Amino acid sequence: ELFTAIAELEGLLHTEHALITTICAKSSYSELFTAIAELEGLLHTEHALITTIEKYIAAQERKILLLKKYVDIYIEQYEKASQDVQAYVEEFITDFDKHKNDFKFPSNEDLNGAAIALARLQDMYELDISSLANGEINGVKCATELTAADCFEIGRQSYNNGDHYYTRLWMMEADERLKREVNQSVARSEILEYLAVSTFQLGTTSLDVSDYILCVYHKILGHVELALHLTNKLLELIPTHEKAIGNKVYYEKIIAKSNSVQRKGDDETVIIIQNKTEHRLAYEALCRGETTPSDKILAKLKCRYLDNGNPFLKIAPFKVEEAYAKPDILIFHDVMADDEIATIKALAQPRFQRAAVQNVHTGDMEFVQYRISKSAWLEDMEHKHVADVVQRVEDMTGLTMETAEELQVVNYGIGGHYDPHHDFARSGQIAGFSKLGTGNRIATVLFYMSDVAQGGATVFPYLDVALWPKKGAAAFWYNLHSSGEGDRMTLHAACPVLTGSKWVSNKWIHELGQHFRRPCDLKRPPPELTA
C-alpha cells in the first residue's frame, strides 16, 4: 500500500508541477480560475494521501514496537536460560504445568478417537490411503498433505486400538513418504518396528477391524518371514535394538519349526478377506449412495402440498415429498428458517455433551463407538424460535406435542455417525424415555440444520432409502405400527460424515394423547414386519 501510495504521490507532484508551470505561463483569468479549482481538488487528494500514509507509518511503528517488545522478552529469556539451562527448563515446565488447563490441547484420547474415525471412514467410503495422505477425498483436495510422521502417528494409534490391518497400511504409507522427505519427520527404525510387529500379528490372529469385519489372513506367504525381513532391516539401522533382537530370535524359531512341517504352497501374496455381514455391506453401499429403492417403488412416490385442514397452511402449505411408502417416510421442505437454525445452534452449542449410553451392568454412562456425536436438549420456553419449531411439528404431523420429548440438537463432526438402530424401545427394554409414562416413541421428526459436504446421509437399510441432508428440510416417519408394535422396517442410521459438519435436531413424539389423532388399530401388522 505504501508503495502504491508513494507512486501516486509522485505522480501527483508531477501533475502539480506541470499545473503551476501552466498557470504561470498563462495570463487569462478564466483559465487561471479553472486551474485554481483543479488545484484545490488536487490539494484535497494530496491531503487524503498524506493522512493515509501517516496512518500507515503509525501502524508500521506499532508493529516495530511490538517486535521490539518480543525481542526484549526473548533476550531476557535467553540471558536467564544461558545462566542455568536446567533450572530454566524446570521452571518452565512447572509454570507450564500450572497453566496447562488454561489451554485446550488434543488429548491422547482425542488422537485415538481420530484414528478410529479415520479407519471407519476409510472402510465405509473405500478411501485410498495415499490420496488421503495427500489431503484428497474422492478427488477433492480438502486438507494439507500428511508427513511421514503424521502417517506414523495414525498407524501408532491404530496399533493401540488393536487394529493391525490399518497399522500396517499407515506404516507402509509412512515409509513411502519418508523416502521423499528431505527433512525426515520420523525415524525409519520406528516405522519398521511397528511394521514388523503388525505384519506378524496380522498373520497370527483373525482380528476384528470393527464389530462387523472379520479379517481372515491366509498364510500363503509366511507372515513370519516378512516380519523377520522387516526386523532385519531395523537391525541394520540399529544393531543394538533390544526388542528387535528378541523378536528376531522368536521369529526364527517359529520359522525353523514350520519348515519342518510341509509348507502348503509358495505363492508369495498376502490375501486379506474382509468378511463383512450382508447387512453391513448393504448399509455401507447405501451410505455411499450406490443403492436406491427399485424403479417400481420410486414410480409410486409423489410430491404434494399439505395443509392438514389448518387455515394458515391453506395460504402457505407444507411442501411434502414422499421418500418411501409403507412405511411412509416423508420429507418436508423449507420447514426451518435460517434465523431459527442459527438460534437453535447457538442455544445448544454451550451445552453440548458427547453422546453416552448407560451400561446395563454397572449403570455407568459410557462412550460408545456406535454413536459418535455431541447433543443437547432444548425446552420450548427457552426461545420463541424453539417454540415456533415445535408448533410447526404439530402442524406438520397433526400429532400433539404435549407428551413429546424436548428438542434434541445433534452435531456430528468428521467421522461422526450413528449405527443402524430403531428409535422405539422394544418391550422390556428400559430406554431413558420409557420412564416418562408417555408410552413409546410413536414418530420421529428429524430436522436438517445444515447441508453436508460429503457423507452423512440418513439411511434406512431395509428400504434402500438414503436421505441426503438439506438445510431447512425435515424427515418424518412413524416408528410404530398403528397396533402400537414397533415397525422393524424403520431401522435407520446416520452415515459417517466424510467432509464438513452435520447438524440435525430430533423431535421424538410419544404415544400418549395421540388416540384421536392417530387411532390405534387392533389389526396386527403382517408377521414378517413384526419386531
Ligand X SMILES: O=C(O)CCC(=O)C(=O)O
Residue ranges binding ligand X (CB under 6 A) = 410, 418, 423, 446, 458, 492, 494, 504, 506
Partner in contact with 465, chosen from ligand X, Fe ion, none, beta carbon below 5 to 8 Å by kind: none
Count CA atoms within 13 Å of residue 80 on its CB side.
12
CA-atom Rg of the chain in angstroms? 34
Closest distance to Fe ion from the beta carbon of 492 (Å) = 6
- Toward ligand X, which CB reaches closer, 123 or 423? 423
Give the max Cα distance, the chain: 118
**Residue 97 beta carbon to ligand X: minimum distance, rounded to whole angstroms:** 40
**CB of 492 vs ligand X, minimal distance in Å:** 5
Contact partners, residue 374, CB within 8 Å, separation at least 6: 352, 353, 354, 355, 410, 411, 413
> What is the nearest approach in angstroms of ligand X to the Cβ of residue 422?
9
Q: Which does 167 bind (CB under 5 to 8 A by kind): Fe ion, ligand X, none?
A: none
Q: Which of 107, 130, 129 is nearest to 118 (CA)?
A: 129
- Our CB check for ligand X shows the closer of 420 and 513 to be 420
Q: Are 286 and 419 in contact (CB under 8 A)?
A: no
For the four alpha carbons of 210, 211, 212 and 216, in that order, the dihedral sign comes to positive
452 binds, among ligand X, Fe ion, none (CB under 5 to 8 A by kind): none
Strands 214-217 and 207-208: antiparallel
Query: Measured from the CB atom, is 223 or 422 closer to Fe ion?
Result: 422
Q: Give the number of residues in contact with Fe ion, rule: CB under 5 A.
A: 1
Minimum Å gap between C-beta 476 and ligand X is 13
Q: Judged by CB, which is closer to ligand X: 116, or 372?
A: 372
In the bound complex, what is the minimum distance in angstroms from residue 513's beta carbon to ligand X?
22
196 vs 493 by CB, closer to ligand X: 493
Of 438 and 506, CB closest to ligand X: 506
493 contacts 379 by C-beta, under 8 angstroms: no
In terms of Cβ atoms closer than 10 Å to its own Cβ (0-12, 13-18, 19+), residue 322 is middle
Binder of residue 458, out of Fe ion, ligand X, none (CB less than 5 to 8 A by kind): ligand X
CB of 495 to ligand X, least distance (A): 8
Q: Cα separation of 158 and 151, whole Å?
A: 11
SS3 content of the chain, % helix, strand, coil (to 5): 50, 20, 35
The nearer residue to ligand X, 247 or 375, going by C-beta atoms, is 375
Establish how many alpha carbons lie within 13 A of residue 501's alpha carbon, considering only the half-sphere containing its beta carbon. Answer: 8
Instruction: Give the nearest distance from C-beta 53 to ligand X in angstroms.
Output: 56
For residue 364, give every residue at least 6 positions away whose Cβ sits within 8 Å of its Cβ, in sequence order, or none.
358
- Distance between CA atoms of 284 and 126, rounded to whole angstroms? 10
307 contacts: CB under 8 Å, gap ≥ 6: 313, 314, 317, 318
Instruction: Quote the cell numbers at residue 96.
Output: 507450564
Residues 417-476 that bind Fe ion (CB under 5 A): 423
Q: C-alpha cell of 42?
A: 488536487
H helix intervals, 100-241:
108-124, 129-133, 148-160, 164-180, 188-204, 223-237
CA-based nearest residue to 483, from 517, 520, 511, 444: 520
Tell me the C-alpha distance between 123 and 59, whole Å: 52
Which residue's CB is nearer to ligand X, number 170 or number 460? 460
* H/E element, 297: helix 295-299
| Residue 376 touches which member of Fe ion, ligand X, none, C-beta under 5-8 Å by kind | none
414, interface contact from ligand X, Fe ion, none, CB < 5-8 Å by kind: none
**Considering the complex, what minimum distance in angstroms separates the CB of residue 421 from ligand X?**
7
Of the two residues 155 and 293, which places its CB atom closer to ligand X in the complex? 293
Residue 158 binding partner per list ligand X, Fe ion, none, with a CB distance cut-off of 5 to 8 Å that depends on partner kind: none
Q: Give min distance, CB of 433 to Fe ion, in A.
A: 12
With respect to Fe ion, which residue has the nearer C-beta, 347 or 504?
Answer: 504
Residues that bind Fe ion (CB under 5 A): 423
